[in-house]
Structures are given as C-alpha cells and as structure tokens.
Structure 1
Amino acid sequence: MPTGISQDQVNAAADQLVAAGNKPTVEKVRQVLGTGSPNTITRMLETWREELAQRMAQMISLPDVPGPVGVAFMEVWRLAIEHAKTAANEALIKEQNAIAADRASLNQEAKVWQIAVEAAQRETAEAASKWTHVQTQLMERDALLEQLKIQQADLMQQRDLMQAAVAQYQTDIERLQAERTVALDHVRVAEDRAHRLVDEARLDAKALQARWEREERETSKRIAQLTDQAEQLHKAVHTAEQATAREAGRVLALEATLKQFRGALPLKKTKTAAKKKTKTRAKRSGRAEHA
C-alpha cells in the first residue's frame, strides 16, 4: 500500500469532486490524488461521508442557510449514501468472486500436490531399492578411499620431515659459517681447515637438497597416482550406478514375465492331469482284455 495518503487528502479530493458535480467514487478520488490503495480510499470515503453528514446537519441548522441550499445538501447526501451502498455491494461481490477463485485455485493446487507427493513416494521407494543394492559396493570404495587418504597423509608427513631436516642442515651451515668468522679473527692458521669444513658442509647440503628434490618428485608422483586412482574409483561408482539402473529394469521385466507365466500355469496343470487320467484308463482296459 502506498504511504503518504491521509484522511485530510481524501476529504479534500471528495469535496472537490462534489463541488464539481461529480460523485466521489474510489476511482475518481484516486485519480485526483494520483496514488492510494482502493481499500484505503474506500475506508476513508466512509469516514468522509460520516463527517459530511455532520457538516450538512450543522449547515442546515444555521439560521442564515437558505432552504434551497439545504435541499441541495440533502440531495448530495442522498447521492453519497446510494453510491456508498452500490460501492459496498460491488466490493462484496468482488470479494466473494475472489474467494471462490482462490478456493478453486487451492483445490486444483492440492490435487497437483497430491499427484506430486504420490510420484515422489514412488521415486523414493525405487531410489531406496537401488541404494540397498549398491550400498555394499559404495562402502567398500569408501574404505579404499579412506586408506588412500591415510597413505597420502603419511607421505605428506614424510615430506614435512624431510623439509625440517633440510632446514636444520641449513641452520647448521649458517652456524658453521659464523664459527668460521670467529675462528678467522683468532686463529689464521685454521683458515684452510675451516674452508674444507664449509665446502664439505655445502656438498652435504647439495646432496640433501638433491635428495629432498628427488623425494619431493616421488611424493608428487605418488599423490598424482592416488588422485588418478580416486578418479577411477569415482568413475567405477558411476558405472556401477548405471549398471544397477539397467539391472533394475531387467528385474522389472523378469517380474512381469514371471507373473504372466504364473497366470498360465494352472491351465497346463489341468491338461496334464487329464492326459494322466486317460493313460490310466487305457492301461486298465488293456489289463482287463488280457485277463
């Protein structure tokens, strides 16, 4: 509902329409105001009519109001009352039609929802049957994926240990370099020995770096292999789901064939029994003739 409309605005618009010789209807008042909800304007017009009756009674009671003027005011009031009744009846009819339409729409929607619920129940039953069929395979694949995750975590832990070892070696190298600087200040003679130690330490660091890089490549390769295996397992699960759907269709077809076979089974049993009775009678007749 638009905001800003007041009773005074509706009163002024209605007075303006009456002064112009027009009936103050909801549509005309809304045209004058340029806004306003029809329900709000209807309610405010009722208030305006009540106030108009009071104003007309006061004006007629004044001694200086001419008789024709009072009659004119009474005619305006009568027209306003008649229009109010007509507007009320029209609003009542519209409301009743809207209620009937809403009721029909709700009934139709209830039927649609009922059909949808029944279809959903059937689909749920079918999905539950399929899920029961493939649940074991999914559990096995989940267990395998969990093992792969554990292996991946172990490899990551080993890589972290290697990185920590390399960092420790790097720290040792820095410590040796600091000791060499101190030793140079005190003993020049130990310079060659310190150089040899630093060179050896650098060679060890390079060897460790090469080892770490090799381990990193192997770890990355292993992770890639595990990722490929996981993707293959997901594809296998998807293939199993499709195969399960096809097997479900075959089971339904076999059940239909079995029902048809069971329906035809009693007739075959009756014919077989009749043939046995005929053979028994023939045997008895042959024995009597030989006797």
Structure 2
Amino acid sequence: MARSGVRYEDVQRAIDALMARGEAPSVHKIREALGTGSFTTISEHLREWRRLREENRDVPPPQGMPTELQALAEALWSQAQEAANDALVHYRQEADTRVEEAHQQVAGAERRAEDAEQREAALSSRLTELDQRLDERTREQAQLQAEHDALQERLTRAQQEVETLQSRLEAARQEAREQEQAHQQALEALQTSLEQRLQQEEERNESAEARLMGLLDEARQERQAAEKAHAGREQRLERQLEDVRAQHKAREQELSEAQQARHEAERAQVTAQERETELQRQNEELAGRITERDRQLAEQAEHWQQREQQMEERLWASLEALRSEWRDARERAEDTTDSPAPEREDPA
C-alpha cells in the first residue's frame, strides 16, 4: 500500500510538469520534482497513472460536431496517439527497466537488511554465550582461587605438622639410642646368666643321660618280651581267623543253597499263580460260554414257543374254517332235501 506522505495528485502534477517540459516521467524525476516521498510510493502512483492513461487512450472524441470536423479530429487524435505511443515506447521501456531495477535494489536491500539482522542476532547470541562463558570462567577462577587458598592453608598446616613430627622423631631417636644402650647392657647380663645356667644344665643332662640309658635298656628288654607275646597272639589269632573263614565259607554255601531253594520255591509259586490265573481265566471264559449258551437256549425256547403258538393259532383257524365249511355244506344239504323234486315232461 502507498504511504500517506505523497498523494496521487502530487505525483500527477509532477508528471504533468515533466510532460510539459517534454520529459518522460520516471520515478527518479518525479522524486526530484517533488523533493520528498519514497520510491515505492512514487512507483505505485506512476503505475496507477499509466493504467488510467491506457484506459482513457481509446476514448473517442466528443460527438455533436460536424462530420468533416469530427473526421479531422479523429484523424488528428489517432496521429497524436501514434506519435505519443511512439515517443513514449522508449521512455516506457526505460521506466519499466528502472522500476524493475529499483525493485531488485529494494529486494536486495531488504535481503541485506535481513542478513544484517540475522548476523546481528547471531552476534548477539554469540555475545550472550561468550558473556555466559566468561561468567562461568570467572566463577571457576574464583572457585579455583578459593581452592588454591584452602590448599595453601592446608600446606602451611602440613609443614607445621611436619616440623613438629621431625622434632618428635629426633626426640624418639634419642630415646631409642638410650634404650638400645640399656638393652645392650641387659643382653650382656642375660647372656652371662644364660651361660651359667647352660653349664648347670649340661651337668644335669649328663646325669640324666646315664639314667636314660638304663631306662632304654629296660625298655628294650620289655619290648622283646612284648614282641614274643605279640607273635604268639598273632599265631593264635591267625588260627582263629582260619576257623572263622572256614565257618564263613560253610555258612555261605548253606546260604547259597537256601537262596537257590528259595528261588525255586518262588518260581514254583509264580508258576502256580500263573496256572491259577489261567484257570480263573478259563473258568470265566467257560462261565461266559455257559451264560451265552443259556441265553441262546432261552432265545430258542422262546422262538419255538412263539412258533408253537403261531401253529396252534393257525390250527384253530383251520379248524374254524373247516367247521364253517361243514356247516355251510350241511345247510346246503338240508336245503336240497327239503325242496320238492321237479316234474318230468312226457317225451311223447
């Protein structure tokens, strides 16, 4: 939309002034003539003026004049339009080209402005990020400085403790040297005492060794006697063991025979059970056959009874039929006897 700073009437007056001077109207010339206004607004008004001029170009001259004058006016009007069109073709093309260039420049300027805004936004974001990182680094530096101060203080205390420990170590070393001297003296006294006691122990050991040798001789004699007694006991035990082995072998033989007899008895029992089972099965089969035979006999008896009843019924029916026939024959005979004999005609 056109801005409210420059109106269409202002642009039209500037165009009329340029046309009066014989100059083709353009955006730059109109801008110079007006001294104000944006190129976009002037370009829109210029396009509107051209559109209206194109619409009014083919309007015929007013009617109501003489024919010759009207024809002359129409001819002049056509010539004027052709001359104006020929004169304005170049300016129109140039104006359109400049307007298009202006539009392209405006679009380029807008793109550059957008790029600049984007770069500005990116730079602003980058600056904000750098500020944040700077704040973080500042905080980290402050934290590191605090840690450094704490470590320095701890180092000072540690150095003081080391000095204290060194002094205590020196005192402990001095005390250890004194204790070592006292210990050496005590060791020398103890060694002297031990040597004396060792000599006394050696003397006592010699007497104890003599007594020990006597005890060893007695122990050897007792051992020999014990070995002899042990050998006799071993011989007796071996004989007893042989007797036990013989008894065990006899018991094993008896046990084997008993197991064999038990196996035979078990086999006989199994055979008897199998025989009993077979007999039971045969008895059951025989009982089934007897039951089936009884059923068949009952069915046959019932069948013969039914046939006997049927034959009896048929016999009675035949007898009744014979009786009926006999009565009929008798009645016919009686009728024949009661009726008179027919008269014979004289053959002459």
TM-score between the two structures when normalised by the length of structure 2:
0.34
- Which structure carries more relative contact order (alpha carbon 8 Å, separation 6+)? 1
TM-score between the two structures when normalised by the length of structure 1:
0.40
